[in-house]
């Protein structure tokens, strides 16, 4: 059975993208990712995305278009990603070591985790199209 993991690429009006630094597990500590997490049994993907952003960042998000298809993770896991904006609240690092808003031109200034790097590349192309 494949486990679905959802992630939000949170973008603001200036084209900045929110990156989150992993606090766990040990193999991923310090790496940068897009916030999100596993879809719970009986939960919809968008519902999970909204819940994860609430839990991890303390914000409500408005979910936009999906980015790409299924992004492969480790065995048995698949990543599905959506663009999102902050509808209310200010992002806080509740479950991460740090958060960072990356300006256009700074998108690769953090050490993205292997699964998130190709997503950032796809997002950069989407944002460039306007």
Domains in the chain, please, with CATH?
Answer: 3-129 (3.90.79.10)
Would strands 3-10 and 17-21 be described as parallel, antiparallel, or unpaired? unpaired
CB contact at 8 A, 80 and 45: yes
Q: What is residue 73's predicted lDDT score, i.e. its pLDDT? A: 87
Q: pLDDT (tens digit, 9 = 90+) per residue, 46-98? A: 999 999 999 999 999 999 999 999 998 888 899 999 999 999 999 999 999 99
Q: What is the pLDDT of residue 96?
A: 97
Q: Give the model's pLDDT for residue 77.
A: 92
pLDDT in tens, 10-55: 999 999 999 999 999 999 999 999 999 999 999 999 999 999 999 9
Cβ atoms 80, 1 nearer than 8 A: no
pTM beyond 0.85: yes
pLDDT at 1: 79
């Amino acid at each position: 059975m494949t486990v679905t993991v959802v992630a939000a690429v949170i973008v603001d009006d200036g084209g900045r993208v929110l990156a989150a630094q992993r606090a766990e597990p040990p193999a991923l500590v310090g790496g940068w990712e897009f916030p999100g997490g596993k879809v719970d049994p009986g939960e919809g993907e968008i519902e999970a995305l909204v819940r994860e952003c609430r839990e991890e960042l303390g914000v409500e998000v408005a979910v936009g278009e999906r980015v790409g298809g299924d992004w492969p993770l480790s065995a048995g896991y698949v990543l599905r990603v959506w663009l999102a904006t902050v509808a209310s609240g200010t992002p806080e690092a509740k479950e991460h070591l740090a958060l960072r808003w990356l300006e256009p031109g700074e998108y690769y200034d953090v050490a993205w985790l292997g699964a998130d790097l190709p997503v950032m590349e796809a997002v950069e192309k989407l944002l460039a199209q306007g």
